[in-house]
Amino acid sequence: MMTEESGRNEQSVLRKLAVPIVIGAAVGFVTMFGVSKLTSGDLLEGLSKAAEMAVLVGAFYILAGVGVGLGSLRPRIGAKILNVEDVEELEEQKGKLLTSCIAMALWGAALIVIALGGEGGIIAPLPALIGGVAMLVIGSGFAWVSYRASDELMQMLNAEATVLAYSLTLGVVGVWAMAAHLDLARAQEPIEMLTMFYVIAMLATFIAAGRRGLLAPR
């Protein structure tokens, strides 16, 4: 009896994991393919590899924000894709998720605008700076609203992710800068540093969430 129940639970977990894994893999492939086609065209052929990577990371931010946002707007569908217990939990978190998703999408768009405003890009430097900073600030405003609406657990998670991101930034960007200053490594391009901030922030969030068991299938 226990064996049968355990088997059913395992199948349920596998089904719960299968949908987001397949969707995530498909979205990742389409994103990489789309960005590759875009940057290899005549319009953006002068874009540096570092700027191309920034566009790719920004696109992932936008797609993640849009995907989770749409899932929260359609709780019955979102509950099958997102890591929540049921539709009711997703409905309760809708407001916090939406503001957080808007922030993520705006941050991703800011990175893309800055990347496309550099050498070989298609946006003039000053408009790119104004647009990028504006989206970064507005996105941070939405993130603050989401943080203020979060419960104690999520606020602690955000604080832990922030500390972890700071430590990882010092460990990666800081050590690289030290090596470059001592002529032991090439100097970082500004867009590379900005992209690493984005990647490290996302990595720190996943690590903090995983340590609190929030990535386990529910």
Domain spans, the chain: 2-150, 151-218
Say what the pLDDT of residue 98 is.
86
Contact 125, 117 (CB under 8 A): yes
CA pseudo-torsion sign 141, 146, 149, 151 = negative
Say what the pLDDT of residue 68 is.
81
Give 10-residue mean pLDDT values along the chain (218 residues). Answer: 45 48 58 63 71 90 85 69 64 79 94 87 90 97 89 85 93 94 92 94 88 68
Q: What is the 3-state secondary structure (H, E, C) of 28-47?
A: HHHHHHHHHHHHCCCCCCCC
- In whole angstroms, give the CA distance from residue 207 to residue 17: 18
What's the distance, Cα to Cα, between the start and end of the chain in Å?
23
Q: What is the largest distance, in Å, between two alpha-carbon atoms of the chain?
A: 68
Say what the pLDDT of residue 1 is.
45
Say what the pLDDT of residue 17 is.
47
Tell me the pTM: 0.79
Say what the pLDDT of residue 127 is.
93
The CA dihedral of 124, 130, 133, 137, to the nearest 10 degrees, is: -150
